[in-house]
């Protein structure tokens, strides 16, 4: 594996310009999957870090919390903001995070998750009004073209059991967002359950106890190579890695294929599982806080997005505006050579009741998905003394104490492995906990009791983490190293690079930046391992929750 020699932020800007200028020169890319309105550019910070992306500069501000997939619409939003003299602040979070927000004091004027399901579940106080679907996109499989041909999936209808058979035969592995952190993963997972149960009218609690279902869904999810907490980041991760397939929104598959085509690489062939197809309907709703001026601005935005002209432009990004196909002028965006079906009539599955859905998500986390193997390399250098250490202990309490973890669907499974490596100038110790019982909660006591002091060498800690991973059959886990540091590290990146190469498999090293941590060092490690950095300087607990959702 070679180190990636550019940052995601730089690559994102480069690809935005490249697609705008060059996509017209290629066959299937001639539709141009990215909007060309305005000057807004989508950056990594605006796609899941929790930072607000500001558009326009008006007196009235609309604060919108949105799914990351809507980041590609920022140029369209930017034109509206400039035209109407309204400032829009876009903050991107997972759909399940948005659902949880609805049960609290919502610090936003509007919500825009991927699916109305999460508004229905979360808005128990009925604070959301004027809710309208802005676009729809199905959740599909994208499989490397040659592999799709080998599997016999090209030019025919494919079922979830066909996909399961390919996984069971060892011919198919795929990437997918976490069903407990992202709508695309949750939607795909519920679709799998429906199909494996034979498409019942409604999934029940009794259905979830079916032994055949449990065996089949475990086998299907055993095919997951990499997980992610964000649909948009999953696409970027896929493009920078070496994977066979991913489950994601149709619109993001189109963007991925446009980028693959520009790079001269093999495209993904899109497969629509006919017996388990789920749909994201992108609802935009207003949070009613009694501010007439904001409500008027929101209604203007919504009217703009639903206008024929803008709906047409949204369709040019690969989203649909209805369930019966796309307009004739936009069919070129939905390239049939890539398996896309612009005329397909979409028949979505029926989502289960809220209590059953909650049980589905809990079972995914504790029983059905491949167990996680988490290596926590935690900085206990002298600079962490005081408030930094207190925040670290509080954050780990939310992950390791299972009653807390359950509130965010982050609880451990019976076979999960958690390894703690406290470090300063050297590795201090190594502690391991297996399962979801007393061991993992005892691990929290180690976190709380560890003293701080000394220098900082995150590379030695990461190398020790790699050494620990060598003791496991990583094909049976979703492994990740989670590194927290608050300073500039001594040590040698080359030592880490050598150890990582010897491991022989791609394991992401996710970093949490805290205090005065050197972002350049962390970015180098993230780029090298196809991972990402999380900013814990404002809220360390949220940063740990976010990174934990990526495996």
What 3-state DSSP class applies to 513?
strand
Closest CA to 524 of 479, 427, 458: 458
- In this structure, are strands 128-133 and 137-144 parallel, antiparallel, or unpaired? unpaired
Residue 29: predicted pLDDT: 54
DSSP 8-state symbol, 241: S
- pLDDT of 36: 40
pLDDT band per the 50, 70, 90 thresholds, residue 94: confident
Average confidence score pLDDT of the chain: 89
What pLDDT is recorded for position 95? 80
H helices then E strands: how many in the chain? 20, 18
Q: Is 90 exceeded by the pLDDT of residue 87?
A: yes
pLDDT grade for 257, boundaries at 50, 70 and 90: very high
Check residue 15 and give its pLDDT: 38
- Is the Cα torsion angle 108, 109, 114, 116 positive or negative in sign? positive
Higher-pLDDT residue of 30, 285: 285
Q: What is the pLDDT of residue 523?
A: 94
Q: How confident is the model at residue 274 (pLDDT cuts 50, 70, 90)?
A: very high
Asked if residue 11 lies in contact with residue 41, where contact means CB atoms within 8 angstroms, the answer is no
Q: Give yes or no for residue 54 having a pLDDT over 90.
A: no
- The pLDDT assigned to 50 comes to 56
In Å, how far are 91, 93, 108, 550 from 75, measured between CA atoms?
Answer: 15, 19, 21, 28
pLDDT (average), residues 79-100: 90
Strands of the sheet with 417-423, listed across from one edge: 431-434, 417-423, 372-379, 478-485, 509-513, 533-535
Q: What is the pLDDT of residue 104?
A: 83
The predicted-structure confidence for 414-438, as pLDDT tens digits, reads as follows 999 999 999 999 999 999 999 999 9
pLDDT given at position 86: 94
The pLDDT of residue 51: 63
- With beta carbons less than 8 A apart as the criterion, state whether 71 and 42 touch: yes
* Contact present, 161 and 273 (Cβ < 8 Å): no
Q: Is 37 helix (H, G, I), strand (E, B) or coil?
A: coil
> Is 90 exceeded by the pLDDT of residue 20?
no
Instruction: Specify the length of the chain in residues.
Output: 551
Helices (DSSP H) in 151-283: which residue ranges?
160-168, 183-196, 211-221, 231-240, 250-262
Report the range of poorest mean pLDDT among 3-7, 122-126, 432-436: 3-7
Taking 90 as the threshold, does the pLDDT of residue 82 lie above it? yes
Look up tokens 């899941």; give the residue.
48
Query: Residue 96 pLDDT more than 90?
Result: no
Whether residue 31 has pLDDT greater than 50: no
- Statement: residue 4 has pLDDT above 50: no
Distance of alpha carbon 169 from alpha carbon 164, whole angstroms: 9
Residue 106: pLDDT above 80?
Answer: yes
Cβ(433)–Cβ(402) below 8 Å:
no
Sign of the dihedral through C-alpha 514, 515, 517, 523: positive
Q: Report the alpha-carbon distance of residue 158 to residue 167 in Å, rounded.
A: 14
Give residue 17's pLDDT band: very low, low, confident or very high (50, 70, 90). Answer: very low
């Amino acid at each position: 594996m070679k180190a990636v020699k550019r940052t995601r932020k730089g690559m994102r800007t480069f690809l935005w310009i490249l697609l705008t200028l060059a996509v017209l020169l290629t066959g299937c890319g001639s539709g141009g999957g990215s909007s060309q309105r305005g000057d807004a550019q989508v950056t990594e910070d605006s796609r899941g870090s929790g930072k607000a992306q500001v558009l326009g500069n008006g007196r009235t501000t609309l604060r919108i919390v949105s799914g990351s997939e809507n980041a590609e619409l920022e140029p369209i939003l930017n034109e509206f903001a400039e035209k109407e003299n309204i400032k829009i602040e876009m903050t991107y979070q997972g759909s399940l995070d948005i659902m949880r927000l609805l049960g609290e004091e919502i610090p936003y004027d509007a919500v825009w998750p991927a699916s109305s399901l999460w508004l229905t579940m979360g808005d128990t106080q009925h604070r959301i009004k004027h809710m309208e679907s802005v676009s729809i996109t199905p959740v599909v499989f994208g499989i490397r073209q040659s592999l799709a041909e080998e599997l016999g999936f090209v030019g025919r209808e494919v079922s979830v059991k066909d996909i399961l058979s390919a996984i069971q035969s060892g011919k198919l592995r795929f990437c997918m967002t976490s069903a407990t952190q992202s709508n695309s993963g949750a939607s795909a997972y519920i679709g799998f359950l429906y199909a494996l149960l034979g498409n019942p009218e409604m999934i029940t609690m009794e259905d979830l106890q079916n032994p055949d279902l449990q065996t089949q869904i475990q086998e299907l999810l055993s095919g997951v190579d990499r997980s992610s907490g964000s649909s948009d980041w999953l696409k970027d991760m896929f493009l920078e890695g070496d994977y066979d397939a991913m489950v994601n929104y149709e619109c993001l598959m189109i963007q991925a294929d446009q980028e693959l085509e520009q790079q001269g690489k093999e495209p993904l062939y899109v497969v629509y599982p006919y017996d388990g197809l789920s749909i994201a309907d992108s609802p935009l709703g207003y949070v009613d806080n009694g501010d007439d001026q904001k409500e008027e601005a929101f209604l203007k935005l919504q009217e703009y997005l639903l206008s024929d002209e803008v709906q047409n432009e949204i369709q040019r990004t690969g989203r649909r505006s209805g369930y019966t196909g796309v307009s004739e002028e936009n069919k070129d965006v939905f390239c049939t050579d890539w398996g896309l079906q612009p005329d397909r009539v979409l028949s979505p599955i029926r989502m289960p009741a809220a209590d059953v859905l909650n049980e589905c998500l809990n079972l995914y986390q504790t029983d059905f998905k491949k167990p996680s193997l988490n290596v926590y390399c935690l900085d206990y250098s002298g600079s962490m003394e005081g408030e930094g250490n207190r925040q670290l202990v509080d954050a780990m309490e939310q992950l390791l104490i299972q009653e807390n973890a359950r509130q965010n669907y982050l609880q451990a499974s019976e076979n999960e492995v958690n390894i703690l490596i406290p470090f300063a100038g050297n590795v201090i110790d190594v502690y391991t906990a297996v399962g979801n019982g007393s061991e993992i909660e005892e691990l929290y006591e180690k976190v709380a009791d560890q003293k701080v002091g000394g220098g900082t060498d995150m590379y030695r800690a990461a190398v020790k983490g790699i050494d620990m991973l060598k003791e496991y059959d990583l094909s049976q886990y979703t492994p990740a190293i989670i590194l927290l540091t608050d300073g500039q590290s001594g040590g040698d990146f080359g030592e880490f690079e050598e150890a990582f190469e010897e491991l022989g498999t791609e394991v992401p090293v996710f970093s949490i930046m805290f205090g005065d941590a050197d972002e350049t060092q962390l970015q180098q490690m993230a780029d090298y391992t196809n991972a990402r950095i999380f900013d814990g300087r404002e809220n360390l607990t949220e940063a740990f929750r976010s990174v934990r959702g990526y495996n």
